[in-house]
Structure 1
Amino acid sequence: MKFAYVLQHSYEVGEDGAFDEVKLIGVYSSKEKAEQVIRRYKILPGFKDYPMECFHISEYEIDKDQWAEGFINGDEA
């Protein structure tokens, strides 16, 4: 099995955190590489103003659907 690790930085903005601000930093071949990037970015302007919890690493299996089945939006409920 082969995996990809997606690194994002996200936080809530707007009145009462009405919106999510999400930055895709990159896609990496290992969790360790994504963690190395966090160590570099956490000291950069802008990023250093937010807690470490704003960095998120998600693991995805390559060549595998990420949805098991369809979805229902608000108009169909």
Structure 2
Amino acid sequence: MEVFLLWHVRHARNLDGSIEHVDVGGALSWDEEEGDDVKLLGVYSTENRAHERIERARTTPGFADEPNCFMVERYVVDQDTWTEGFTTVFR
């Protein structure tokens, strides 16, 4: 079974209040280490329902400031995704 995750990115502001959108190949990108805030708005049974939610969210405070910073991601339920472990790097 597939579901659709809906994400929104609020990009970090520069000191002057401006925003730098970095689109790599036309895709939405973000860097949480640089202060970008990524939010999961919901998980939907169809891609269409996720896009309907985007239209509603675009009119609400915060989301309306960056109306083109939504991403819908297809996700397979009951499938392992991070199978090789990880290493912590201390700074």
TM range (shorter): 0.7 to 0.9
Compute the displacement of 1:13 (Å). Answer: 1.7
Whole-Å separation in 2 of the counterparts to 1:11 and 1:66 = 25
TM-score by length of 1: 0.77
SS of the aligned residue for 2:48 comes to helix
Whole-Å separation in 2 of the counterparts to 1:51 and 1:40 = 11
Compute the displacement of 1:43 (Å). Answer: 1.6
What stretches of structure 1 of length at least 5 have no aligned partner? none
Comparing both structures, which one devotes a greater share of its residues to strand?
1
What stretches of structure 2 of length at least 5 have no aligned partner? 16-30
User: In the comparison of the two structures, how many residue pairs are matched?
Assistant: 73
Comparing both structures, which one devotes a greater share of its residues to helix?
1
TM-score by length of 2: 0.67
The alignment's C-alpha RMSD in Å is: 2.1
Matches within 5 A, 1:9-48: 9-13=8-12, 18-48=34-64
Whole-Å separation in 1 of the counterparts to 2:13 and 2:56 = 27
* 1:74 aligned residue: 89
SS of the aligned residue for 2:40 comes to strand
Compute the displacement of 1:37 (Å). Answer: 0.5
